[in-house]
Amino acid sequence: MKIKMDDSVKELKAVWMDEKKVNMIDQRYLPSELKFFIAEDFKDIHSAIKNMVVRGAPTIGVTAAYGMAQAIIMDEDTRKAAEIIRSARPTAYDLFHAVDYMLDNITRPKEAAEEYASSVVEKCRKIGENGAKLIEDGYDILTHCNAGALATVDHGTALAPIRASARDGKDIHVYVDETRPRLQGARLTAWELYNEDISHSVIVDNASGYYMQRGDIDIVIVGTDRIVSNGDIANKIGTYEKAVVAKENDIPFYVAAPVTTYDELMEKGNDIPIESRDDDEVRMINGSLITPKRSPVKNPAFDVTPAKYITGYITEKGIFSPSERKEMF
């Protein structure tokens, strides 16, 4: 991804491995500071995933692969390491896929981890190529949360078609949901689009319906942390609302994801484990209390969007409708 630094522009990935150390952009500090987190071992990897130093299903998967490589190289108990890394976050399927991949390639850890990371980046590049076919010159696009290079090591899933369209010279504008409570849209997606010089506006979450009703949105593209057998998806909390409102206003709603996000063993969306996060994510902003101290809080990190609200899935293999989902995999 492009990052403006002082008077230069650099190309960086969200996470990479040097020797035995894993380096990652610490997404908790963006957009105000560009800081890096260095994981010395698989326990640091678990902490980085759990505490959202890195987030986004593909980046979580690559980080987990590197963590498993560390455990194997350092002659740790790999089964224990796998169990600990898997426990970091329950919803993103790429995390489990990456750990299993490394267990299947235990004799060549560093090589296997790099292959896994490269495959994720290449899949996202192809997602961009395929998804760009849906975006016409002059389009206004709505996205939710962050499904860009930060979430996928490079390129992105939902942002990959947007990046590809901008490179093709298309005149586009992106409406960026702020995405409460952690503001991944306002903080991360807007930061990526700024660095790429792509026209965008940050909007509050509750404004997306207003712009859809006015006819200001041509297409909605989001990422996902898991697609299950019947085509339902789990994505950042608030995605379901966008899908329902998009359908009501005849706006196409697309889900961009690599095929590794597909969990064929899980039958329907209601079976997906939904992570509940700390109350203070809702109660506090920058250390300041914004709710009554004793008011109870509920903080689900994800919701489920049924397949009936989804126009299609943008994958590295092409674009598929819900009725064609089995062909994707």
User: Which tens digit of pLDDT belongs to each residue from 168-196?
Assistant: 999 999 999 999 999 999 999 999 999 99
Taking a C-beta distance cutoff of 8 angstroms, is the pair 317, 260 a contact?
no
The mean per-residue pLDDT over the stretch 45-66 comes to 95
Query: What is the pLDDT, as a whole number, of residue 260?
Result: 84
Residues 35 and 152 in one domain: no
Active site residue 225: yes
Q: Indicate the residue among 58, 88, 122 that finishes a domain.
A: 122
Radius of gyration, CA atoms only, the chain: 19
Which CATH number fits the domain that encloses residue 114?
1.20.120.420
Domains in the chain, number: 2
Residue 128 lies in a domain: no
**Sequential DSSP letters for 248-304:** HTT--EEEE--GGGEETT--SGGGS---B--THHHHEETTEE-S-TT-----BSEEE
Residues 118 and 175 in one domain: no
Residues 260 and 181 in one domain: yes
User: Which tens digit of pLDDT belongs to each residue from 85-101?
Assistant: 999 998 778 899 999 99
Query: What is the pLDDT, as a whole number, of residue 325?
Result: 81
| pLDDT above 80: residue 329 | no
Which CATH number fits the domain that encloses residue 306?
3.40.50.10470
Residue 87 lies in a domain: yes
Instruction: Indicate the pLDDT class of residue 318, thresholds 50, 70 and 90.
Output: very high
In the structure encoding, which two tokens stand for residue 162, read together?
A: 């947007």
| pLDDT above 80: residue 104 | yes
- Averaged pLDDT of the chain: 95
pLDDT over 90, % of the chain: 90
Beta strands of 68-203 (E only): which ranges? 140-143, 173-177, 200-203
Residue 127 lies in a domain: no
For residue 149, give the H/E element and its range: helix 149-152
| pTM (two decimals) | 0.92
The mean per-residue pLDDT over the stretch 104-126 comes to 97
Beta strands of 97-149 (E only): which ranges? 140-143
Residue 202 lies in a domain: yes
Domain with 88 in it: 2-122
| pLDDT above 80: residue 160 | yes
- The catalytic position among 177, 225, 232, 303 is 225
Query: What is the pLDDT, as a whole number, of residue 129?
Result: 98
